[in-house]
Amino acid sequence: MQNPFGNNNNNDQNPFDLNNLPLPPNYAKVVNDQGQIRIAKVGISWTTLWFGPLPALFRGDYYNFLLMIVLDLDYALVVLFFGLNWLMQFPWPSLVFAILYNMMYFKHSFNIGYRPADQRSRELLERFHYLKK
């Protein structure tokens, strides 16, 4: 498979081998003991900004999905209770979760047994403080 991202990883040993996937520079790969691989972006989650908690649901990250739903509902209840309806015109919770969601996803993955799959992913996660050195 030719690597379209230009990081000189053109390994063609097995086209179905997921360990040699060419990844964009801001994506990290984590793996658990059963060999399951998760690949996700490090940094701002633009999909969470536009679609709210749906990316968490599609990733199978039910813990963070429910957390986002509960906190979105809490925000709406507080705003409506205090009569601050002008705060509902901009999706403030979506903005906060867009900044934090990918970090929450990786940290929850580490808590359930995932670890960085390679050195590049480890360095990327450490640089963004998702993983302690």
Terminus-to-terminus CA distance in the chain, angstroms?
32
Q: What is the pLDDT of residue 85?
A: 85
Q: What is the pLDDT of residue 11?
A: 52
d(CA 93, CA 90): 9
d(CA 18, CA 29): 10
Give the HSE-up count for residue 68: Cα atoms under 13 Å, Cβ half-sphere.
Answer: 28
Q: What is the pLDDT of residue 8?
A: 56
Q: What is the pLDDT of residue 47?
A: 94
d(CA 128, CA 24): 16
Q: What is the pLDDT of residue 40?
A: 92
Q: What is the pLDDT of residue 97?
A: 95
- H-state helical runs in the chain: 46-51, 54-59, 62-81, 92-111, 119-127
Extract the residue ranges of the chain whose pLDDT is less than 50: 1, 15-16
Q: What is the pLDDT of residue 2?
A: 52
d(CA 129, CA 28): 13
Q: What is the pLDDT of residue 65?
A: 96
- Beta partners for residue 29, in sequence order: 39
Q: What is the pLDDT of residue 1?
A: 47
Model pTM score: 0.79
